[in-house]
Structure 1
Amino acid sequence: MFKSQTPVLFAINGLTALAFSFIMPIMSLFLVSELHTEPALIGLYTSLTALMTIVVSQKLTGLIDKGVPSKVLLLLSLAGIFSAAIMFSLASEFWHAIVIGCLLMPVASSSIPLILTVIRRYADSTGKNSAKLNSQMRSAVSFLWIFGPPLAFLSVDQFGFDNNFYISAAIAGFVIIWIAFLFQMPVVEADKVKNKPKVKLPTAVWFLGIVILIANIANSTYINAMPLFITHELGLSKSFPGILLGITAAVEIPAMLLAVGWAQRFGKSQVIRFGFVAGAAFYLGMYFNTSINIFLALQILNGLFFGIFVGLGITIMQDFSPTAVGKASAFYTNAMLVGTMIGTSTMGVISQYFGFKAPLLLCLGAIICSFIGLILFDAYIANQQRKVQCA
C-alpha cells in the first residue's frame, strides 16, 4: 500500500502511544480512586513494573540486534498492550494490578524501545536525518496526546475506568492489524548477525543515561502527582488533568520540530539545557500557583521542556553508540523507566505524609540536578576529545 515505510511507522508510533495514553496518565488515579490503594503503594506498583520492564525490554530489543524480525517483536508487544488493557478493566484489587503490571505491562512497554530501534534503523538504511525523523515521529505522538489524555480523563469522569481500558485495547488491536498487513522491514542476514561482535555501550552513554534518568524523575513525578493534586487537593474535576496534559502535548510538537534546527545551530546538549531551565521554571510555577488560568499558561513551559528532552535525548544517546542502536535505545528507555520508578515511588511516600503538592519540590530538585549533570557530561566529552587530539 505504501512504497515508503515512513507513513506506516508514523501510524504505528503514534497509535501505540495513543493506546498508552488511555492507561498511563490515569494509573495513579485508578489505583487510589478505583482500587482504594494508599498513595505510598503507587511506588510499589511502579517499581515492580519498571524492574520487570527493564529486563523484558532489554531482552526483546537485543533480539533485534541478533536478527529476529522486528515485525514479530512489535506484534508481541502490541498483544501485551491489548491484554493488559483488558485485564485492567477486570481488576478489582491492588494485587490484580500488581500481577498485570509484572506480567503484561513489561511486554507492552517494550513496544517503545522496539519502535525507537526500528525508526533509527529505518533512518540509517534510507539515509534520512535520524534527529529529524525522531523528532517528527515524536511530534506525531504529541499530536495524538493532545487528544488522548484529555479524552482518557473525560472518559473516567463520565463513564468510569473500564471504558477507558476498552478504548486502549481497541486501539492496540487496530495497530496489530496495521503491523500485520502493512509493516515491512529488511531482514538482517543471520550470518552477519552471528559474526557480529558484541559491543559495549560507551562510558558517554552511561553518563548521559544518568542525566536522562534524573530528568525523568522530575517528569514522572509530575505526571503521577498532578492528577491527584488537581482532583484531591484543589477539588477540580477529573477531566482537568487531561486538559493540562493535552496543552502540554500541543506545545511539544513545535518544540520538537524546532529543536532539530536549534540543535544544528547551538548543539544538542545546549538545547537540552535550555529545556531543563524551562522545566525548572514550570515546576516552580506549579508549586506556588493557585490560579487555573496560570496553570494552563504554565503548560507552555512544560511542553518546551519535555518536547526538547524527548526529541533530542534519544538521538544524542544513539549518536554515541552507532554500532549498537538497539542496545542504546533499550538503555534510553530503561533509564527513563528507572527514573519513573524512583520518581513515582518517592512521590507516593511524600504524598502519603505531606500531600500531593509537595512532590513538585522533588520535580524541581531533580531537574536542577539533571541540568548540573548535563554540564558535567559536556565537560567529560570535551576532555575526551582533547585526549584524542593530543594522542
Structure 2
Amino acid sequence: MRFEVLRGDSGVYFWLNGLSAMAFSFILPVMSLFLIEGLGIEPMYIGLYTVGTAVSTILISQGLGRLADKGVDSKILLLTSVLFLCLAAICFYYLTQFWQAIIVGWCFMAFGASSVPLLLAMIRRFAEQSGKDSTKLNSQMRSSVSLVWIVGPALAFTSVDTFGFRTNFLMAGGIALLVFIMAWRLLPSAVKSARKTNVHDAIPPFPYKVWFLGVGILFANMANSTYINAMPLFVTKELDLPVSYPGMFMGLTAALEIPVMLLSASWSHRVGKMQLMMVSFAVAMVFYIGIQYASTVEWLLALQFVNGLFYGIFVGLGITLLQDSAPKRVGQVSAFYTNAMSVGTMCGTSLMGFVAQHYGFRNSVYISLVAVVISFGIFLAVHLNESRQAKLSEIQHPL
C-alpha cells in the first residue's frame, strides 16, 4: 500500500524520527556560529565544546542502551532524553557565558542526543513485533531524517539571521516539546515485552562482527565528514565559485540519497546487505577520485549523483547490519552505531583541518579516499570470514 509508512504505528515512528531531526537541525548547524558570535569565544574553544559533548553522548547513550536491553521501558528512556533536549534548547535561550554552554552541552545535550539511538532501537523492535521488514523500515525512517536535513539547516540559519539565536533555540525547544508529547501519547510501553526477552535471558556479549563493522562504519562516515567540511572551502576558495554553490551541491546530494535509501532495502534482498555496502564503498572511491579532477560546475553536479548513491546505501543499511549482528542487544548496538558515526565525524573534521592547512582543501579529500578504502577492506574481510565459516559448517555438517 502506497504511503503506508506515513500511517498507523509506522507513521508515528516516521513523524517522531523526522521531528526529532528537525529539533536537532535548529541547534547543531548553528552551534559554532552561536559560540563565536553569540558568546564571543575564540574558534579554538569550539573543539572543547564539541569533543566534550560527543564523549559525554557516547557514554550516556551506551548506558541508556544497556538499560533498554535489560528491560527498562524504552518509552520512559526516550521521554527522558527528549525532555533533556527540550531543556537544553531552553538553556541555550538564556545562557550568556561559555562555561554555561559547556555544562548544557556536556550534560543536557548529551542526554538529548541519546534519543536518536533509543528511537532506532524502538523502531527495530517495532519491526520485529509487527512482522515488518526491518531493513525496509529502517531505510524509510532514515529517509525522514534526510528530508528534514534538506531544509532544516537552511531554516535554522534563516531564523538566526532574521530573529536571532534566542528565537531559533526557542523554536528548537518547541519542536522537542512536540516530540515529547507525541511520544508520551502515541507510543506504547515496551516494558513487558522487553522484560520477557531481556531480563530473564542472559544478554550475550557483542560479537566480534559488531566491532569490526562498527569500525568500518566509523571510517566510512569519517570519509563523508571530511568531504562535507572540505567541499565548501575548495569550491569557493580554490575553484572561485559563488558561496551559494556548496549549498546547492549538498541539497542535490541529500535529495538524491532519499530514493536510493528507500531502494536499498530491495537491492539488499537481491545481492545481500554486506555485498551492497561494499558496492557503495567502491562507488565512494570513484566519487572521491573524481573530486580530485573536478574543475567545472557540470562535473561537480554530475559527481553528486555518485555521492548520493554511496551515501544513500550507506545510511540506509548501516544500522540494520549492526542490529542483525546482535539482535538481543538492539539498544546498545543502536547506540554503538550512532557513536561510531559521531566519532567518524569528529575524526574527519579534525584531520581535514590539519591536512587542508598544509596541502590545500581539495587534497584533504584524499583522507576520504583512504578512509573509505579501509572501510571496504574491513567489510570484505568480514564477508570472506563469514563465507569461510559457512563452507566449513557445510563440510562438518553435510545434509
TM-score (structure 2 length as normaliser)? 0.86
Q: Structure 1 residues 153, 364: CA separation in 2 closer, same or farther (over 3 Å shift)?
A: farther
1:234-249 residue pairs with structure 2 within 5 A?
236-237=242-243, 241-249=246-254
1:299-338 residue pairs with structure 2 within 5 A?
299-338=304-343
Q: Structure 1 residues 154, 301: CA separation in 2 closer, same or farther (over 3 Å shift)?
A: farther
1:103-122 residue pairs with structure 2 within 5 A?
103-122=107-126
Q: Structure 1 residues 145, 286: CA separation in 2 closer, same or farther (over 3 Å shift)?
A: same
Please say which of residues 27-36 and 310-319 is displaced more in the overlay: 27-36
1:237-276 residue pairs with structure 2 within 5 A?
237=243, 241-276=246-281
**1:326 Cα offset (Å):** 1.6
The runs of 5 or more residues in structure 1 that have no matched partner are none
Please say which of residues 32-41 and 186-195 is displaced more in the overlay: 32-41
Match of 1:125 in 2: 129
Please say which of residues 147-156 and 134-143 is displaced more in the overlay: 147-156
SS across alignment from 1:198: coil
**For the residues of structure 1 that align with 2:75 and 2:184, how far apart are their CA atoms?**
8
Please say which of residues 250-259 and 43-52 is displaced more in the overlay: 43-52
1:22-101 residue pairs with structure 2 within 5 A?
22-31=26-35, 41-90=45-94, 94-101=98-105
**For the residues of structure 2 that align with 1:285 and 1:39, how far apart are their CA atoms?**
32
**1:346 Cα offset (Å):** 2.4
Match of 1:367 in 2: 372
**1:241 Cα offset (Å):** 4.6
**For the residues of structure 2 that align with 1:296 and 1:33, how far apart are their CA atoms?**
33
Q: Is 1:376 the equivalent of 2:381? A: yes
Q: Structure 1 residues 100, 349: CA separation in 2 closer, same or farther (over 3 Å shift)?
A: farther
Which of 333, 348, 352 aligns to 1:343? It is 348
Structure 1: which amino acid aligns with 2:15? A
Q: Is 1:201 the equivalent of 2:206? A: yes
Q: Structure 1 residues 224, 99: CA separation in 2 closer, same or farther (over 3 Å shift)?
A: farther
**For the residues of structure 2 that align with 1:352 and 1:44, how far apart are their CA atoms?**
20
Q: List per-residue Cα deviations over 1:131-170 (Å, max 9, x = no partner).
A: 0111111112222222212323444455554443333222
Q: Structure 1 residues 3, 68: CA separation in 2 closer, same or farther (over 3 Å shift)?
A: farther
Higher RCO (C-alpha under 8 Å, 6+ residues apart): 1
The runs of 5 or more residues in structure 2 that have no matched partner are 1-5
**For the residues of structure 2 that align with 1:48 and 1:312, how far apart are their CA atoms?**
29
Match of 2:141 in 1: 137
Match of 1:14 in 2: 18
**For the residues of structure 2 that align with 1:95 and 1:358, how far apart are their CA atoms?**
36
Query: Alignment RMSD, CA only?
Result: 2.9
Please say which of residues 214-223 and 161-170 is displaced more in the overlay: 161-170
Q: Is 1:166 the equivalent of 2:177? A: no
Conservation of the 8 A alpha-carbon contact between 1:215 and 1:339: yes
Structure 1: which amino acid aligns with 2:80? L
Conservation of the 8 A alpha-carbon contact between 1:136 and 1:257: yes
Which of 222, 226, 233 aligns to 1:221? It is 226
Conservation of the 8 A alpha-carbon contact between 2:203 and 2:328: no
Q: Structure 1 residues 352, 75: CA separation in 2 closer, same or farther (over 3 Å shift)?
A: farther
Conservation of the 8 A alpha-carbon contact between 1:256 and 1:307: yes
Q: List per-residue Cα deviations over 1:35-59 (Å, max 9, x = no partner).
A: 6666665444332222111110011
Q: Structure 1 residues 270, 28: CA separation in 2 closer, same or farther (over 3 Å shift)?
A: farther
SS across alignment from 1:328: helix
Structure 2: which amino acid aligns with 1:112? V
Conservation of the 8 A alpha-carbon contact between 2:288 and 2:365: yes
TM-score (structure 1 length as normaliser)? 0.88
**For the residues of structure 2 that align with 1:161 and 1:342, how far apart are their CA atoms?**
28
Q: Structure 1 residues 373, 40: CA separation in 2 closer, same or farther (over 3 Å shift)?
A: farther
Structure 1: which amino acid aligns with 2:115? S
**For the residues of structure 1 that align with 2:94 and 2:232, how far apart are their CA atoms?**
23
**For the residues of structure 1 that align with 2:102 and 2:301, how far apart are their CA atoms?**
34
Larger radius of gyration: 2
**For the residues of structure 1 that align with 2:216 and 2:188, how far apart are their CA atoms?**
35
Please say which of residues 156-165 and 326-335 is displaced more in the overlay: 156-165
Q: List per-residue Cα deviations over 1:96-154 (Å, max 9, x = no partner).
A: 44333211221111111101100000000011110011111111222222221232344
Q: List per-residue Cα deviations over 1:347-387 (Å, max 9, x = no partner).
A: 34445555655532322221122122221221122223233
Match of 2:3 in 1: none
Structure 1: which amino acid aligns with 2:18? G
